[in-house]
Amino acid sequence: MAQSELEKMQAGEWYSCLDPELTVMRHRALEACHEHSVLYPAERGNIGPKLRALFASCADDVRIEARFHCAYGINIHLASDVFLNVGCVILDTAPVKIGRHSMLGPNVQIYCADHHRDPELRKQHLEIARPVTIGDNVWIGGGAIILPGISIGDDAIIGAGAVVTRDVAAGATVVGNPAKPIAR
């Protein structure tokens, strides 16, 4: 029996992102993100109820400022005391794990989807999902972009506007495009 596009995505294989089942799942995530964004803060609390229910795992004390966007939500794991500031985007075609006490500044973007390099295959909307892992006590400055397949070690700092194209060691500080280590 042939694998569904969702099964291919979850297995880390090439899949078509314009699949009807995946479209329904993205629509569910859009609705949850919309609810989170339009609820009055006192009513929403730290996270809108539909958004919290969508996540793979989410500690009780996680806070996500509105506006927030995710592709599916089902691949997002948020440990205790995580904070996502306004405008964060997580394109979670693969697991995204954010460790305890980590903070993401405004407009941080995390991408798991990587598109095919062959232009003919790209026309077929093929992409592959690569996980992103962010350790404990990481600080990611506003406007930073984390590319597919990246791991960021505990206690690392990602400078504002950095484009992270390679793994970041525990305790390292990286800045720039592409992000490079600097002394603390």
| Structure confidence by residue, pLDDT tens digits, 1-60 | 889 999 999 999 999 999 999 999 999 999 999 999 999 999 999 999 999 999 999 999
The span from the CA of 101 to the CA of 45, in Å, is: 19
Structure tokens at 139: 């600080």
- Pairwise CA distance, residues 135 & 157, whole Å: 11
Rounded to whole angstroms, the Cα distance separating 35 from 126 reads: 30
pLDDT tier, 145 (very low <50, low <70, confident <90, very high otherwise): very high
Q: Which residue has the tokens 């003919």?
A: 120
Tell me the one-letter amino acid at 142: G
Query: Is 91 exposed, middle or buried (CB count within 10 Å of its CB: 0-12, 13-18, 19+)?
Result: buried
Residue 143 C-alpha from the chain's centroid:
13
Report the distance separating Cα 95 and Cα 181, nearest Å: 25
Q: What is the pLDDT of residue 172?
A: 98
d(CA 63, CA 84): 6
CATH code for the domain of 108: 2.160.10.10
Count the domains in the chain.
Answer: 1
Positions annotated as catalytic residues are: 115
- H or E element at residue 147: none
Q: How much is the pLDDT for 1?
A: 82
The residues facing 113 across adjacent strands are 129
What is the domain range of residue 146?
Answer: 5-182
**C-alpha closest to that of 82 among 35, 138, 31:** 138
> Over the stretch 83-94, which tens digit does the pLDDT of each residue have?
999 999 999 999
Q: What is the mean pLDDT of residues 75-101?
A: 98
Query: CA–CA separation, 104 vs 144, rounded Å?
Result: 9
Question: Which residues, other chains included, contact 104 with Cβ-Cβ below 8 Å and sequence gap of 6+?
Answer: 83, 84, 85, 88, 98, 140
Residues in the chain: 184
